[in-house]
């Protein structure tokens, strides 16, 4: 009980302070291990106007968490089934991926953001159909020689999504529902949530391009232009569902008898690929003590962030996960206070967990009264 109280107190302190500082209108954080939730806390409200307090069933626009919750998981499954080769040229799976030196770009390079592709382009202003947008992505010239620089790239993630659909012969949303979300019982994780769920969804930006506040529509303009389903952004989910996802990882890829990925796949995809280039694993980012995972997570802990104010960190050494869900882009994306909140939350949680566990250890020379 002391551990749970300490974790909840750490969540409350950080999130209450962040709401008071106008970092976001609302947030929900949940912390746990491989078999239980250690603490959860909802702070603020879904909107700056009168609205409910966030809870475990509030749905949030995950933004780039889509890349790891969805896209990376799908690639892991294809890899363990020997349907995709990480070191094969992307053109083997996406023949339309053409241009100077594109034949040198591998699946591994896309996953580590070292393909040479630029990070972004305003596709939503350049084309009016999904096929036209994908054609623009596939023919975008490389900025740099593949494998020489890490540039976080939404374009690369979009190409990975095309590889998944070419290999599986299924739309990305259907593949993920059938092979990831339904087996995990992540019943509120989806693209394009229906109108009947709007009351549960945290609104995001007062979008100048679309001319209204977004609620249930993906915030990312390029994902919206792609129809709301993309491999770089578009997923909505809840704290309750992301507990299931994190626990699956901490249990070696399986939960409640359903194996989603193998332990070998987890070990492979969460290992830093080229330390001289970046701290990137395959899809995932690995803690450095200087990124959003804070200063105290174990070496090898891995995670990711989302532009809308979301993040997930998983620490197998400590058997710990930290999920933070916010709508920091409400009412505008120019609010950048989320960066400090992520670090403060991770540090506070790890401090609380380590202190509580230390208090439970028997004094030197005394018999143990139970499990550590």
pLDDT of residue 356: 87
Tens place of pLDDT for every residue, the chain, 372 residues? Answer: 799 999 999 999 999 999 999 999 999 999 999 999 999 999 999 999 999 999 999 999 999 999 999 999 999 999 999 999 999 999 999 999 999 999 999 999 999 999 999 999 999 999 999 999 999 999 999 999 999 999 999 999 999 999 999 999 999 999 999 999 999 999 999 999 999 999 999 999 999 999 999 999 999 999 999 999 999 999 999 999 999 999 999 999 999 999 999 999 999 999 999 999 999 999 999 999 999 999 999 999 999 999 999 999 999 999 999 999 999 999 999 999 999 999 999 999 999 999 988 876 664 443 333 322
Judge residue 347's burial from the number of C-beta atoms within 10 Å of its C-beta, 0-12 exposed, 13-18 middle, 19 or more buried.
Answer: middle
pLDDT of residue 361: 63
In our burial notation (b when 16+ CB lie closer than 10 A, e otherwise), range 37-48 reads bbbbbbbbbbbe
* Residue 236 structure tokens: 């909505």
| DSSP symbols for 82-138 | TS--TTSBGGGT-TT--STTGGG-BHHHHHTT-SS--S---HHHH-SSHHHHHHHHH
**Phi-psi sector, 151: left (phi>0), alpha (psi -120 to 50), beta:** beta
Question: Can you tell me the distance from the alpha carbon of 264 to that of 309, in angstroms, rounded to the nearest whole number?
Answer: 30
* Residue 86 structure tokens: 């990480």
* Residue 11 structure tokens: 């969540």
The residue extents of the domains of the chain are 2-360
Residues 6+ apart with CB under 8 A from 170: 178
State the fold for domain 2-360.
Answer: Beta-lactamase (3.40.710)
Question: Can you tell me the distance from the alpha carbon of 285 to that of 267, in angstroms, rounded to the nearest whole number?
Answer: 13
Cα-flanking dihedrals φ and ψ of residue 165, to 5°? -70, -35
Angle between helices 154-168 and 130-138 (to 10 degrees): 110
* Residue 35 structure tokens: 């078999």
List, for residues 37-57, the tens digit of each pLDDT value.
999 999 999 999 999 999 999
Question: Can you tell me the distance from the alpha carbon of 117 to that of 113, in angstroms, rounded to the nearest whole number?
Answer: 8
Question: Token match 């962040």: residue?
Answer: 18
176 near 161, Cβ under 8 Å? no
* Residue 158 structure tokens: 């979009």
- The DSSP letter of residue 141 is P
Question: Can you tell me the distance from the alpha carbon of 45 to that of 50, in angstroms, rounded to the nearest whole number?
Answer: 8
């Amino acid at each position: 009980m002391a551990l749970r109280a300490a974790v909840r107190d750490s969540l409350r302190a950080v999130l209450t302070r962040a709401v008071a500082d106008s970092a976001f209108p609302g947030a929900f954080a949940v912390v746990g291990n491989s078999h239980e939730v250690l603490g959860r806390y909802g702070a603020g409200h879904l909107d700056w106007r009168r609205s409910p307090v966030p809870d475990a069933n509030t749905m949030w626009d995950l933004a780039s968490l889509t890349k790891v919750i969805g896209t990376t998981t799908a690639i892991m499954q294809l890899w363990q089934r020997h349907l995709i080769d990480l070191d094969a040229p992307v053109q083997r799976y996406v023949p339309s991926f053409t241009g100077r030196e594109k034949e040198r770009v591998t699946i591994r390079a896309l996953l580590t953001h070292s393909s040479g592709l630029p990070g972004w382009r305003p596709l939503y202003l350049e084309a009016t159909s999904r096929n036209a947008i994908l054609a623009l992505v596939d023919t975008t010239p490389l900025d740099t020689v593949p494998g020489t620089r890490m540039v976080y790239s939404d374009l690369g993630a979009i190409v990975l999504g095309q590889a998944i659909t070419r290999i599986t012969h299924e739309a990305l949303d259907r593949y993920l529902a059938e092979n990831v979300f339904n087996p995990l019982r992540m019943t509120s994780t989806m693209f394009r949530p229906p109108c009947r769920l709007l009351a549960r969804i945290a609104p995001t930006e007062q979008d100048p391009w679309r001319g209204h506040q977004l609620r249930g529509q993906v915030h990312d303009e390029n994902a919206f232009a792609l129809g709301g389903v993309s491999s770089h952004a578009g997923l909505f989910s809840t704290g309750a569902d992301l507990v299931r996802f994190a626990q699956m990882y901490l249990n070696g890829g399986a939960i409640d008898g359903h194996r989603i990925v193998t332990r070998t796949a987890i070990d492979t995809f969460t290992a830093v690929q080229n330390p001289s280039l970046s701290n990137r694993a395959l899809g995932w980012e690995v803690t450095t003590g200087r990124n959003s995972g804070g200063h105290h997570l174990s070496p090898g802990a891995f995670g990711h962030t989302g532009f809308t104010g979301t993040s997930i960190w998983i620490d197998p050494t400590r058997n710990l996960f930290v999920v933070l869900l916010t709508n920091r882009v409400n009412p505008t994306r120019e609010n950048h206070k989320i960066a400090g909140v992520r670090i403060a939350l991770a540090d506070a949680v790890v401090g609380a967990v380590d202190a509580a566990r230390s208090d439970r250890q028997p004094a030197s020379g005394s018999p143990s009264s139970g499990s550590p």
